[in-house]
Amino acid sequence: MAKYTQLAADIVKNVGGKGNVISLAHCITRLRFKLKDEKKANTEVLKAMNGVVTVVQSGGQYQVVIGNAVGEVYDEILASQGIQAAGGDTATQDDAPKKPLDMFIDTVSGIFTPVLGVLAASGMIKGLTALLAAFQIIDTNLGTYKVMSVIGDAFFYFLPIFLGFSAAKKFKMSEFAAMAIGASLVYPSLPQIMEGEVLYDVLVGTIFESPVHLEFLGIPVLLMTYASSVIPIILAVFVGSKVEKFYMGVVPTLLKGFGVPFLTLLTMIPLTLLVVGPVATWAGQAVGAAATGIFNISPLLAGLFIGACWQVFVMFGLHWGLIPIMIQNIVTYGADPVVITMFGTTFAQIGVVLAIILKTKDQKLKGIAIPAFLSGIFGVTEPAIYGVTLPRKKFFIISCIGGAVGGALVALLGVKLYIFGGLGIFQYPCFIDPATNDVSGMYNGMIVSAVAFAVGFAMAFPLYKDEAPAPAVVATNETTAAGDIALQVTQNENSAPTIKREILKSPLTGNLVALSDVPDEVFSSGVLGKGIAVEPTVGKVIAPADGEITTLFPTGHAVGIKTNNGAEILIHIGMDTVKMNGDGFKTHVQQGDKVKQGQLLIEFDIAKIKAAGYPVITPFVVTNFAEYKDIITADGKTINGGDNLITAAV
């Protein structure tokens, strides 16, 4: 570990010193710091260090991405710098109080992230159905249209049930009890009751005046339309988690299995229908009305602001605070004209990236930028932001300017989002008014994307030029040590290559996924390595080649291997699965073991990982890809363990 002593010291110094560190943990690639003040960290200096891949600030953590050597660097920091290790393996828990905004963003993102994939897919199907109907390709009176409508609408109609599940995981409540509360909100007979006899009105003369169709124990029930709603179920599960916790403390152990759910549902469903649901609905309507009201004062300024700042919101997770407003507006008013002013930002970003692709001669940058451009077409811009434009600040600012122009144009053209669905080009059909089949919004959306793209490209193309390569910067008072590190890099780069061409076998059986589609910007941007990902259907990882286990995380969720031919590879099972603390993982090798191709390395429980709310998608990357002429991945949709998957060409 002595070779990492200086790197450890430099990292600690540039995160603000030992006194600025609350705790430290690591996963398979990253040092995860909890800092007292992230402003004290010298992020740009850290990014420039030899031995540091990049820096990511997310979820209240200051993450220094190291790569395969992270375990050794972590041990050296603990040993030589006196840093306190975090309890457990994730460094997500500490005694420092969270800011209210941080808590809100963390809560909303934690609830929506697990459902976003199906949410977007359902929206895309709704958009496709609207598109086919608008162009009279399918008849709205026939069965094909009706079945397509069922496919697209089902998830949205029963959204309270799905959000009940994810909210329960966030608030630590029984998932099925929470889903039962969600089901009560969309119970089929409630809409029928709302169309029936009105007993009397309450809150007469106020903005909350409501008809009463039935009573519960003599108390009026204010029925609302909860299909597709968001806020009522989230608030109900939050309250329900407290109620369930209370009953867990008073119900005898022998009766807990059925007694706690019995009392929880008996309490929460009436409470939700009587109080929580109406209050949450009114609150959501008020927030949506306020946002729309501000927008109506000056649509142009609102569009400029949201369009310019959206990518910044995404970087800091603040966009999660606006997503519920978007959905609430669609549910309440039938369309959202406000938050959708962010639409042009995606295209401004990829316009800048394309300009860089065409101008740069840096093959490593091209290798990052081309997949980032392709993923950006479909609305996934994190690889472009983190891998291409943000490290070159001027070009990130240009993309924000393009986004501002796009936002203003959305407002001026009156583009509205009628369906919460796909991103990027898949969002075009979401601008079709399903009530009238008016496609003008879709055409205007295309104009917005073209203009935002053109602005980004036109501003970036004449300004971009490759920077002259510079030696790695190491922030240290000891210039001799810094010089030694720089000398070591030069010697390594000039030494004769020891690697050989190699065909790596697939370590997994499953469906192939482009690395750019992995829901983690460090993997998807390619900064950690080139390769591919697999959505596994069998919970077994086998050795892709003969070699040595160089890294094996204690939780078993990731393994690093150096092959006999010199390839350094990383297999990371799922995303954020370090937080499972080894539950569902069983290792069959140890660090330092020699392995043969096809040998079983790790078994993992796919169902348990998914039930815990984590993606099971598994990146398989060559981390020393810069030493190869090209990293070529296999074509196709599926792969079997042991099939040829990656060719590392020299």
Catalytic residue among 27, 309, 400, 430: 27
Burial 325-356 (b: 16+ CB within 10 A, else e): bbbbbbbbeebbbbbbbbbbbbbbbbbbbbbb
Is position 400 annotated as part of the catalytic site?
A: no
Burial 74-88 (b: 16+ CB within 10 A, else e): bebbeebbebeebee
Q: Hunting for tokens 């496609």 — which residue is that?
A: 439
Collect all residues with Cβ–Cβ distance below 8 Å to 599 and sequence separation of at least 6: 542, 543, 588, 589
**Alpha-carbon span 383 to 389, nearest angstrom:** 9
Whether 459 contacts 401, CB under 8 Å: yes
Is position 572 annotated as part of the catalytic site?
A: yes
Residues in a beta bridge with 571: 559, 620
In whole angstroms, how large is the CA radius of gyration of the chain? 27
**43: helix, coil or strand?**
helix
> For 330, how many CA atoms within 13 A lie in the half-sphere containing its CB?
24
**Alpha-carbon span 642 to 449, nearest angstrom:** 43
Q: For residue 31, which of 64, 57, 4, 8 has the smallest C-alpha distance? A: 64
Whether 307 contacts 345, CB under 8 Å: yes
For strand 568-572 and strand 54-58, is the pairing parallel, antiparallel, or unpaired? unpaired
DSSP 42: -
Q: What angle do CA 431, 433, 436 make, to 5 degrees?
A: 155
- In Å, how far from its chain's centre is CA 50? 28
Q: For residue 240, which of 278, 280, 267, 277 has the smallest C-alpha distance? A: 267
- In Å, how far from its chain's centre is CA 35? 22
**Using CB atoms within 10 A of its CB, is residue 591 exposed (0-12), middle (13-18) or buried (19+)?**
middle
**Alpha-carbon span 45 to 66, nearest angstrom:** 14
**Alpha-carbon span 332 to 130, nearest angstrom:** 20
Catalytic residue among 26, 213, 319, 572: 572
**634: helix, coil or strand?**
coil
Token pair for residue 619?
């990146």
Phi first, then psi: what are they for 339, rounded to 5°?
-65, -25
Whether 546 contacts 525, CB under 8 Å: no
**Alpha-carbon span 543 to 597, nearest angstrom:** 5
What is the three-state SS of 523-592? HHCCCCCEEEEEEECCCEEECCCCEEEEEECCCCCEEEEEECCCCEEEEECCCCHHHHCCCCEEECCCCC
How many C-beta neighbours within 10 Å does residue 269 have?
21
Helices and strands per DSSP (H, E), number in the chain: 22, 22
**Alpha-carbon span 343 to 391, nearest angstrom:** 23
Which are the catalytic amino acids?
A: 27, 572
